[in-house]
Amino acid sequence: MEVTCPLCAAHGEAVLWRDDFCRVIWVDDPDYPGYCRVILNTHVREMTDLPEDERQRLMAVVFATEGALREALNPDKVNLASLGNQVPHLHWHVIPRFHDDRHFPDPIWAAARRLPRSPAEGCEDLRRRLERTLAALLTPPE
Ligand SMILES: [Zn+2]
């Protein structure tokens, strides 16, 4: 744990699913309802710093998140990104993309091509649906 790291010292995150290894959070971005982040719980810099089984465990959560978003939103594309240039603590961005979204076909961090959307409705429903799907995909049966 690094005291200055915002992902180690996270508070107020909207957690959709978590275990002792990682968590999936809802990113509150009005342009991108359904944008999720998968965050390793411990402070690790690169995927190759993890042992092989933990790399697979983390990616299984990323892929479950992608699957939950596809089921809920049927996006035109899902973007997976691991940057960490600003916060070098392993996390994956999982972003549902649509042909008419604010930045398509560019990455969401590029200059916008379109005006902001009006505030999305139904985000609470979407959040609950993602929570349920992730629980079903990731929680092993008793
Ligand atoms: Zn950290």
Confidence of residue 142 (pLDDT cuts 50, 70, 90): low
The two structure tokens encoding residue 84: 């960490």
Distance 109 CA to ligand 1 centre (A): 22
Distance 112 CA to ligand 1 centre (A): 29
Q: What is the pLDDT of residue 1?
A: 72
Residue 46 has pLDDT above 70, yes or no: yes
Instruction: Please tell me whether residue 80 adopts helix, strand or coil conformation.
Output: strand
The two structure tokens encoding residue 22: 């990682």
The contacts of residue 54 (CB under 8 Å, 6+ apart) are 21
Distance 2 CA to ligand 1 centre (A): 5
Residue 48 has pLDDT above 90, yes or no: yes
> Exposed/middle/buried for 7, CB within 10 Å: 0-12, 13-18, 19+?
buried
Distance 14 CA to ligand 1 centre (A): 17
pLDDT tens profile 104-134: 999 999 999 999 877 667 899 999 999 999 9
Domains (ranges, CATH) in the chain? Answer: 14-137 (3.30.428.10)
Distance 43 CA to ligand 1 centre (A): 4
Q: What is the pLDDT of residue 117?
A: 75
Q: What is the pLDDT of residue 120?
A: 67
Residue 31 has pLDDT above 90, yes or no: yes
